[in-house]
Amino acid sequence: MDEALLRSLTPSVLAVLVRRGADFAAAEDAVQDALVEAVRVWPADPPRDAKGWLVTVAWRKFLDATRSDTARRRREGRIDEEPVPGPTPAVDDTLQLYFLCAHPSLTPSSAVALTLRAVGGLTTRQIAQAYLVPEATMAQRISRAKRTVSGVRFDRPGDVATVLRVLYLVFNEGYSGDVDLAAEAIRLTRQLAAAIDHPEVAGLLALMLLHHARRASRTAPDGALVPLAEQDRTRWDTAAIAEGVWILQAALARDRLGEFQAQAAIAALHADAPTAEETDWVQIVEWYDELARLTDSPVVRLNRAVAVGEADGPRAGLAALAAIEDSLPRHAAAAAYLHERAGDLTTAARLYAEAAHKAPNLAERDYLTRQAARLNSHGRH
């Protein structure tokens, strides 16, 4: 059973049903039913035209559901117009599905779940496992999202920036359950890049590839977090880095800079350095300046302060950090690192402990706790 083929065909089959007049929620249910049927039938009797088979079965599932609905009389006209079986037109409406799933009326978590279900072809169980929530909870979230977008016109122009943010959210979820969401986000972003010629789509794809290339070196065998400067660079995926840099260079050449391109440029500079000591921090600061101009994000300014500390010394970094609200997540961790580099180990140890208390995940908390313990032990000796 080719699960990857099924998942790749899901958005185009769903789009065909919607284009024929099915509302989104009913069409999505019918496609899921067709996928279940494919898993049952295909191993013994694989179809010659996989997409055409799925469209035919999904449309019949939709019609069966429509006929049993209380509004049957109002839909009889549509039922009578069932298209005859045959080749499915090669029209790619995947892009419209992306926009629909990233509708501004949806919460970010609902938009991500709906994208994974409708465009990614994941089951409710797989999505629930990835988000570590009960399957019933995820089913309710997806159902509410489908109802929200059911009345939205399918041909309405969408916001590329919103779609990209949803995909970036998927990527940052990383891995849980039996679905690698980082790899899934890369697959979906490749699909989007094939459907739309946009430098920021290319920028996001490059950023994902460059970050994903370092994945194998990010954790120790015991699961402990390994910071970038201490990672074994021989374990980085050089093919993914080369592809990411090539995609980024092509996007930057179009002179339509966006935040994902700027982030990818920073990631490329890290990837290009043979060792942590050879990192071009001056150029990284320059890219953070561009990124701050594009986003006006306090998180960007925080990361820039750390980069300034590397390029111009820890005191310069602390001066830049002083202009940023200290309630910002990871502010204490950045301050601890810069104070340690400046030689103030007592303050650094206190800030590492404070940062550990505020850490957003267990791996980060354990790492910061170890840093605080290391400095406290150093002080006792």
250-299, pLDDT tens digit by residue? Answer: 999 999 999 999 999 999 999 999 999 999 999 999 999 999 999 989 99
Residue type, 42: W
Angle at 23 between CA 17 and CA 28, to 5 degrees: 60
Name the least confident of 8-12, 57-61, 70-74, 372-376.
Answer: 70-74
Give the burial class of 223: count Cβ atoms within 10 A of its Cβ; 0-12 exposed, 13-18 middle, 19 or more buried: exposed
CA dihedral 273, 276, 324, 263 (to 10 degrees): 30
Between 84 and 106, the higher pLDDT residue: 106
Q: Residue-wise over 138-170: b if at least 16 C-beta within 10 A, else e?
A: bbebbeebbebbbeeebeeebebebbbbbbbbb
Instruction: Say whether 228 sits in a helix, a strand or coil.
Output: helix
What are residue 61's phi and psi, to 5 degrees? -60, -40
**Other CB atoms within 10 A of residue 42 CB:** 17
pLDDT band at 215 (very low <50, low <70, confident <90, very high): very high
CA dihedral 3, 4, 5, 8 (to 10 degrees): 120
Residue 102: per-residue pLDDT: 84
Q: Mean pLDDT highest for which of 37-41, 339-343, 361-365, 375-379?
A: 339-343
Residue-level length of the chain: 381
